[in-house]
Amino acid sequence: MSSIVSVSSLGKAYAGGFEALKSVNLEIEEGEILALLGPNGAGKTTLISTICGITVPTSGTVVVGGFDTQTAFRGARNLIGLVPQELNLEPFETVMNTLRFSRGLFGKPRNDAYLEDILKKLSLHDKKDSKVMMLSGGMKRRVLIAKALSHEPRVLFLDEPTAGVDVDLRKDMWNVVADLKADGVTIILTTHYIEEAEAIADRVGVISKGEILLIQDKAEMMAQMGKKQLVVDLAAPVTKVPAALAAYGLEIGPDGASLIYTYDTKGERTGITTLLNDLQKAGLQMADIQTRQSSLEDIFVGLVKETA
């Protein structure tokens, strides 16, 4: 078994009876980056909070690194770093002191050099003696990340780590994540930026209404569910698809200036060659052709709509 986090039949009903998680099962492999996608209110934060010990599960178990989070919480929590979604920080303390506090809370001996190193990686070193309240929102987000890393976790949960972080720094952050992965840290992140999941995750899970709809290797998912489209720009616009081409299920693009052919990449034959031949036979002049691959976003939106 190489699962470092093992979630079995996890259920969570908040006071008032709302079921935020419905019997979730999830195995997270050591060293992987798992991205959790899902609409607002899907239960992503609840899932993370329950694994980390902030909320108490109503049913089911969570085992982290062999430690049950309920009965052996010390062992489990020692391994976990958490970056919460909200910017929850002590405003009156300096950045460095909040990091020292976090590290100490996890029982680790003081090591300022290590903490400063984290701050450097997150481009925050020049703010180390600033009070937290004097930082911008994006900087606070990075302080939260630094706090989570301060005690050298083996499993890192990032709940929307890049919300409110500018594009340059987002790239920096991805580099930090890549470095952590290289060190063998397991990373679970939630995000609403699908390109982010696409860029850094090994596996992607889609969660909606407290249930995991799908969890799969990112490349596999895109290959299986990803549809590719061939767009043929026409020299002269058409108003309808010629009868001879009916079998291809073509769509007409904007203003009739193009024809769009959707095909499945996992199929043996894509049908592109015959289509192009048939187009020519039908007397249509092609100005340009291009293909495009559907993104995780299309897959995600499709999935969530299906279950809505």
Ligand X SMILES: Nc1ncnc2c1ncn2[C@@H]1O[C@H](COP(=O)(O)OP(=O)(O)OP(=O)(O)O)[C@@H](O)[C@H]1O
Which lies closer to another protein via its Cβ, residue 49 or residue 186? Answer: 49
Give the integer Cα–Cα distance in Å for 40 and 75.
32
Site residues for Mg ion, 267-306, by CB under 5 A, read none
| Residues near 192 by beta carbon (within 8 Å), at least 6 away in sequence | 37, 160, 163
Out of 45, 69, 150, 162, the residue judged to bind ligand X by CB under 6 A: 45
Least distance CB 87 / Mg ion (angstroms):
13
Q: Are residues 195 and 237 in contact, defined by beta-carbon separation less than 8 angstroms?
A: no
Q: Looking at beta carbons only, is 40 or 273 nearer to ligand X?
A: 40
Task: Check if the beta carbon of residue 223 is closer than 8 Å to that of residue 266.
Answer: yes
Which structure tokens are listed for 126? 């020049």
109 binds another protein (CB under 8 A): yes
Place of tokens 């694994």: 51
Of 29, 44, 6, 22, the closest CA to residue 211 belongs to: 22
Residues 204-243 that bind ligand X (CB under 6 A): none
One of 3, 23, 58, 85 touching ligand X (CB under 6 A) = 85
Site string for ligand X, 5-44 (x = CB under 6 A): ---------x-x-x-x-----------------x-xxxxx
* Dist CA 56 CA 287 (whole Å): 61
Minimum separation from the CB atom of position 202 to ligand X (A): 21
Q: Is position 80 an interface residue for another protein (rule: CB under 8 A)?
A: yes
Nearest CA-CA partner of 33 in 144, 146, 157, 142: 157
- Which amino acid does the sequence have at 16? G
Q: Does 46 bind Mg ion (CB under 5 A)?
A: no
CA 143, 147, 198, 54: dihedral to nearest 10 degrees? -120
Contact 60, 69 (CB under 8 A): no
164 binds ligand X (CB under 6 A): no
Q: Look at residue 102 and give the partner it binds from ligand X, another protein, Mg ion, none, a contact being a CB closer than 5 to 8 Å depending on partner kind.
A: another protein
Residue partners of 260: CB distance under 8 A and separation at least 6: 229, 230, 231, 232, 250, 251, 252, 253
Question: 56 contacts which partner out of another protein, ligand X, Mg ion, none, CB within 5 to 8 A by kind?
Answer: another protein
State the number of binding residues for another protein (CB under 8 A): 35
Tokens of 159: 């709940």
User: Which residue type sits at 158?
Assistant: L
CB of 33 to another protein, least distance (A): 20
Q: Which residues within the stretch 67-86 sit at the binding site for Mg ion (CB under 5 A)?
A: 85
Region 34-73 residues binding another protein, contact defined as CB under 8 A: 49, 52-56, 73
* Footprint of another protein (CB under 8 A): 14-15, 49, 52-56, 73-75, 77-78, 80, 82, 84, 86, 88-93, 97, 100-109, 147
* Footprint of ligand X (CB under 6 A): 14, 16, 18, 20, 38, 40-46, 85
